[in-house]
Amino acid sequence: MAVELDLRTPWRIGPVEVPTRLVLAPMAGVSVQAFRRQGRRYGAGLVCSEMVSCAGIEHGNERTLGYLRVAADEHPLAIQLFGSEARPMVDAARMVEAVGADIVDINFGCPVRKVTRTGAGAHLLEEPDLACRIVEEVAGAVDVPVTVKLRRGVANGSRACLELGPRLVDAGAASLTLHPRSAEQMYTGTADHELTAELVSLVEVPVVASGDVTSRARAQTILATTGAEAVMVGRGAQGNPWALREIVDGDASEPTREEVAAELVLFVREAVRELGERRASGFLKKFYGWYLGQGRFPKPFKQGLLQLDSTEEVERRLIAAAPGALAILERLEAEAPTGDELTLELPVSIYGGG
């Protein structure tokens, strides 16, 4: 029987120590500070911002969605950038280094048309010389490690990542994250982690395995068969931080209704603090279903929250449905670390709502 890896074994990306083998994925419209801080509490060793548009920063014509904040309890934190030209990427990398990011992550994997049509994201898998130039110039411009997230390639069956990955490392990438689906696949089918194992064999830097990490057993299998240093979890953590705990520590206990309500109320409060009431009200609606699904609360209750006009009323409904949540919430807020927040005014996303 294979020996399980202790997922609380630290590892390193350059000088940055990551305390667990679990990375919380950057997700557009999801990975706000409230989401990242919660992920750290439940076992993520590294958390990532959602994609930040370098073009929006350069031209100043993208609707400003708020402030990108770096809290004391987020570190280590990677801020992910996307763009199609080296100079704006360098300027943006310097800015996020200044605000306190531990790692600059570059996105060469996003398959969404809104991104690829600008020449960014997964499009750069087909422009390897430009991709390498971007990494080389960004790595030369900042003192923090530069990492890259990529897919296997644009077309189904592509093996482009195996050629590009080593070149990106030569250009200065301190770590690679591979989601071994094609851009054409989007999120359908299965992630081919045989490709992850091949990439690991080709590079001397840590590789993070992304895709279909749905349980501790699956994480252990992927780590054992690929040689990756860590796994990345994305959609499985949406409204379900307990999934992170299960992967890292093997604690598969289901949260109580009170625990679910307390975490959601805390998340609501943090989102309002970060985004403001108006933006947070819209942003949070998708989270209600994520948190309260899986049989945790009746469907009519979830639907009722979507009709409410204020987050204060959402809180009241949740506490009324699970009164014991109040004591848990008070404990969570009392345990929250305090520290300075650094802010950097820049467009957070081309997506709106987070």
- If we measure between CA atoms, which residue out of 297, 348, 303, 346 comes closest to residue 319? 297
Residue 188 has pLDDT above 60, yes or no: yes
- Specify whether the CB–CB gap between 28 and 56 falls below 8 A: no
Residue 18 has pLDDT above 80, yes or no: yes
Residue 208 has pLDDT above 50, yes or no: yes
Question: pLDDT of 340-351, one tens digit each?
Answer: 555 554 444 434
- Each as own residue / partner, the long-range contacts of residues 203-206 (CB below 8 Å, 24 or more positions apart, any chain) are 203/165, 203/166, 203/169, 203/176, 204/169, 205/169, 205/173, 205/174, 205/175, 205/176, 206/11, 206/12, 206/13, 206/174, 206/175, 206/176, 206/230
Q: Identify which of 187-196, 237-246, 338-347 has the greatest average pLDDT.
A: 237-246
Can you give the pTM of this predicted structure?
A: 0.92
pLDDT of residue 1: 46
CA distance 222 to 269: 36
Quote the percentage of the chain above a pLDDT of 70: 91
pLDDT of residue 59: 62
Residue 337 has pLDDT above 90, yes or no: no
Residue 3's pLDDT band, with cuts at 50, 70 and 90, is confident
pLDDT of residue 61: 37
Per the residue annotation, which of 54, 110, 132, 161 is the catalytic one? 110
pLDDT of residue 294: 85
Mean pLDDT value of segment 146-165:
95
At residue 221's C-alpha, the angle toward residues 251 and 74, to 5°, is 55
pLDDT of residue 254: 94
- Specify whether the CB–CB gap between 145 and 116 falls below 8 A: no
Beta-carbon contacts of 116 under 8 Å, excluding residues fewer than 6 positions away, are: 110, 122, 123, 183
Quote the percentage of the chain above a pLDDT of 90: 75
Question: pLDDT of 45-102, one tens digit each?
Answer: 999 998 888 876 666 533 323 335 788 889 999 999 999 999 999 998 998 898 889 9
Return the number of other C-beta atoms located less than 10 Å from residue 150's C-beta: 29
Annotated active-site residue 110? The verdict is yes
Radius of gyration in angstroms for the set of CA atoms belonging to the chain, rounded to a whole number? 20
Q: How far apart are the first and last CA of the chain?
A: 44
The DSSP symbol for 51 reads: P
CA distance 82 to 132: 14
pLDDT of residue 70: 80
Question: pLDDT of 20-41, one tens digit each?
Answer: 999 999 998 899 999 999 999 9
pLDDT of residue 68: 58
Question: pLDDT of 270-323, one tens digit each?
Answer: 999 888 899 899 999 999 999 999 889 999 999 999 999 899 999 999 999 999
- If we measure between CA atoms, which residue out of 75, 76, 42, 47 comes closest to residue 248? 42
Beta-carbon contacts of 194 under 8 Å, excluding residues fewer than 6 positions away, are: 180
Mean pLDDT (the chain, rounded)? 90
Residue 206 has pLDDT above 60, yes or no: yes
Residue 157's pLDDT band, with cuts at 50, 70 and 90, is very high
- Specify whether the CB–CB gap between 292 and 301 falls below 8 A: yes
Residue 42's pLDDT band, with cuts at 50, 70 and 90, is very high
pLDDT of residue 246: 97
- Specify whether the CB–CB gap between 231 and 210 falls below 8 A: yes
Residue 5's pLDDT band, with cuts at 50, 70 and 90, is confident
